Amino acid sequence: AAAPSPLDGAVAGYREVTGAAPLYAKFAYGFWQCKEHYKTQDELTAAAATFRQKAIPLDAIVQDWRYWGDMGWGPQWDPKVYPDPKGMVANLSAANLKLMVSVWSRFDAKTTFYQQMDRKGWLLNGTGSVGNGYYDAWHPDARALFYSFSKAAHFDNGVEALWLDATEPEHFPHLNQTIHLGSANEYFNSYSLMTTMAIADGLRKDFPKAQGARAFSLTRSSFAGQQRTGAALWSGDISSTWDSLRRQVAASLSYALSGHAYWCEDIGGFFRPNGQHDDPEYRALLIRWFQFGAFTPIFRVHGTNGDTELWEFGDETMGAINASAIRLRYRLLPYNYASFRRAAAGYTVQRALPL
């Protein structure tokens, strides 16, 4: 291998100061299936089974928001549409699949989550829209309580990881507000660090031989040192255009140079066109996007305005993606796993031209 460049030393030094980027469990380097959103337990499990039936390699499937149904925004399964979360996870596990679930830092006022935080005075002042609250992530006891909600709903049921959405937090409810540490403006961009830390600390304490051994989460924002919490970043709700794909290439390389080892995107773009499944131009874009995504740290499809499962785009497109991207990704798995083992010691895997 070529000798590391001086810039490698700078990135490694940054991580020495702010924290290492720990190696994930091997499944995290495989293919992740995601869409906005699975509406029922039956829909999610049927999709997982179809991947196995069609022999498309897959390691993880993702439940996006709204699994709480009419119960209120927060980490709770609506039994009308998800009657047996623990059984669902067990069935996925039997098929060698992991489940990641979306959790937000905000709660509806009618939920017990909101009420517990409110009683303690741990909601951000003037937060969110009417009837919704973001918690004060800078308060250590609030972080522990936030983690406990997901432990009860998710980790105790075998869920592998959380998708920590909107950790900006969305709409900046902490602007010009007072937090546990004082002025929120002084700590403004560190909300995601605190929230991913809440989950990592809890997992490492309660599940040291399982999820906590190599903590993983996915989130939409980042801050200096966040790599030590096991959090990967994704680039947000991007558009499904060729220009957006072009921008992801630059974003991916630049993020790695910032000292954070793990990045991903919504392969295919989040905001997708009407008629995406039958549009030849979109199919061509999707194939090319998968081929780029196969060479990024976390390999995950996502999108709205229709299903994202490959078979929805026809056998030809599905076959092209499976052959030129997904199976290639799995052939590269030993190399990727070994490379990110080096990243835990400071190496930068995505080699931008200066490296």
Tokens 């499937």: give the residue: 61
Would you please indicate which residues are annotated as catalytic (active-site) residues? 165, 168, 237
CB 271 within 8 A of CB 304: yes
Tokens 């309660």: give the residue: 206
Of 254, 280, 354, 348, whose CA–CA distance to 13 is shortest? 348
CB 262 within 8 A of CB 20: no
A 10 A CB-CB count for 127 gives 19
> Would you call 271 exposed, middle or buried from its count of C-beta atoms within 10 A (0-12, 13-18, 19+)?
middle
Name, in order, each residue with C-beta under 8 angstroms of 42's C-beta and a sequence gap of 6 or more: none
The radius of gyration of the chain from alpha carbons, rounded to an integer in Å, stands at 20
Q: Go through 200-210 and write b for each residue having 16 or more CB atoms within 10 A of its CB, e for each that does not.
A: bbbbbeeeeee
Cα–Cα dist 9/69, whole Å: 49
Classify residue 331 as left (phi > 0), alpha (psi -120 to 50) or beta: alpha
Q: What backbone torsions phi and psi does residue 317 show, to the nearest 5 degrees?
A: -65, -45
